[in-house]
Amino acid sequence: MTILDQIVAQKRIEVAQRKTETPVSVLEQMPDFRRVPLSARDAIQDLNSTGIIAEFKRRSPSKGVINDRAGVAETTQGYVRAGAAVLSVLTDEPFFGGTPADLQAARQANPSTPILRKDFVIDAYQLLEAKAWGADLVLLIAACLTPAEVADLSQEAQNLGLQVLLEVHDEHELDQTLTHTVDLVGVNNRNLKTFETSIETSLRLIERIPDTFAKITESGLHDAATMRTLFRAGFDGFLIGEAFMKTSDPAAALAELVAQYNTTPLPI
Ligand SMILES: O=P(O)(O)OC[C@@H](O)[C@@H](O)c1c[nH]c2ccccc12
């Protein structure tokens, strides 16, 4: 059983429980349910954007505890001040130490920045939660969904006004699951079996992503030269968590990376 299988098995139990605790009618009455979501895609493709999706992540299965001291409101506001185009907030508790309250706090603290609900979405109920908690977009991970599930969930998200970031790890996932109801395609550089990251994955898959989607490279990114290489290859955005969160001042780490990026020339 891979770690992803374990996470998904746990998630099914969690979602079943949440559904009984909080009926859909309660989610629909939460104030943010009626909020008009912001466009992450526009924020990333804006010419003046850094393209950075800055992630709030306390821990992960691969790294253990990354940061158990940072506050979510302060950190995400710092990210935005330092140039983050979009925020990503983990809401999975068992494996990543995130909570729904983290997402809600990030929303309150950052009214005009798009926020990704970072979780393992396997059920349309979680899209309603995302909307009620103030998210603007959701992640769908091809590795844990069938093509039909990706199609259904992304259509449902679109009906709610939420954008979708579809995460893929290889050609097969991309070819099987990409559908027009997705807005952004993320290539995860992390091999979910070995946890190793390699930007070769992004450089290989970019060719196959049509230009109608915003293109995001995810995981293991920490230096401006690599980001320039990926930008040159066609990526619009960069999803970065650990490189910021492992420092004592995540926002300062983001500001430093942006400063380096702006003075790093494009590779030939
Ligand atoms: O912390 P990193 O290596 O910068 O990676 C961020 C993000 O890509 C990673 O957290 C991630 C990518 N896909 C996921 C799916 C679930 C949870 C986490 C993730």
Domain-embedded: residue 95: yes
Domain-embedded: residue 76: yes
Q: Is the CB of 57 under 6 A from ligand 1?
A: yes
pLDDT of residue 141: 98
What's the one-letter identity of residue 199? I
pLDDT of residue 194: 85
41: enclosing H helix or E strand = helix 40-45
Q: Could you give the number of structural domains in the chain?
A: 1
What does the chain come to in residues?
268
pLDDT of residue 1: 85
- Give exposure, 167-197, as e/b (b: 16+ Cβ within 10 Å): bbbbeebbeebbbebbbbbbbbbbebeeeeb
- 198 CA distance to ligand 1 middle (Å): 13
90-100 per-position pLDDT tens digit: 999 999 999 99
- 90 CA distance to ligand 1 middle (Å): 9
Q: Are 237 and 61 in contact (CB under 8 A)?
A: no
Packed helices 3-21 and 124-133: angle between N→C axes, nearest 10 degrees: 70
pLDDT of residue 193: 78
| pTM recorded for the entire structure | 0.98
Full domain range(s) for residue 255? 3-262
* Mutational pocket test of ligand 1: of 11, 56, 219, the residue with most ligand atoms within 8 Å of the beta carbon: 219
Q: pLDDT tier at 27 (50, 70, 90 boundaries)?
A: very high
Atom of ligand 1 nearest to the CA of 245: 1
Residue 12: HSE in the Cβ half-sphere, 13 Å Cα cutoff:
7
Q: In this prediction, what percent of the chain has a pLDDT beyond 90?
A: 96
Q: Are 51 and 237 in contact (CB under 8 A)?
A: yes
pLDDT of residue 265: 87
Domain-embedded: residue 267: no
107-166 per-position pLDDT tens digit: 999 999 999 999 999 999 999 999 999 999 999 999 999 999 999 999 999 999 999 999
Residue 222, SS3? coil
Atom of ligand 1 nearest to the CA of 66: 1
* Mutational pocket test of ligand 1: of 5, 65, 190, the residue with most ligand atoms within 8 Å of the beta carbon: 190
CATH for 47:
3.20.20.70
Ligand 1, atom 5: closest residue by C-alpha:
219
β-bridge pairing 64-65 and 59-60: antiparallel
pLDDT of residue 195: 87
Distances from the Cα of 148 to the Cα of 12, 122, 129, angstroms: 18, 12, 21
Domain-embedded: residue 110: yes
- 29 CA distance to ligand 1 middle (Å): 31
Mean per-residue pLDDT for 49-60?
98
Domain-embedded: residue 63: yes
What's the one-letter identity of residue 93? E
User: Tokens at residue 107, please?
Assistant: 């929303």
pLDDT of residue 19: 98
**Whether residue 268 has pLDDT greater than 80:** no
212-225 per-position pLDDT tens digit: 999 999 999 999 99
Domain-embedded: residue 60: yes
Q: pLDDT tier at 245 (50, 70, 90 boundaries)?
A: very high
**Ramachandran region of residue 195, left (φ > 0), alpha (ψ -120 to 50) or beta?**
left
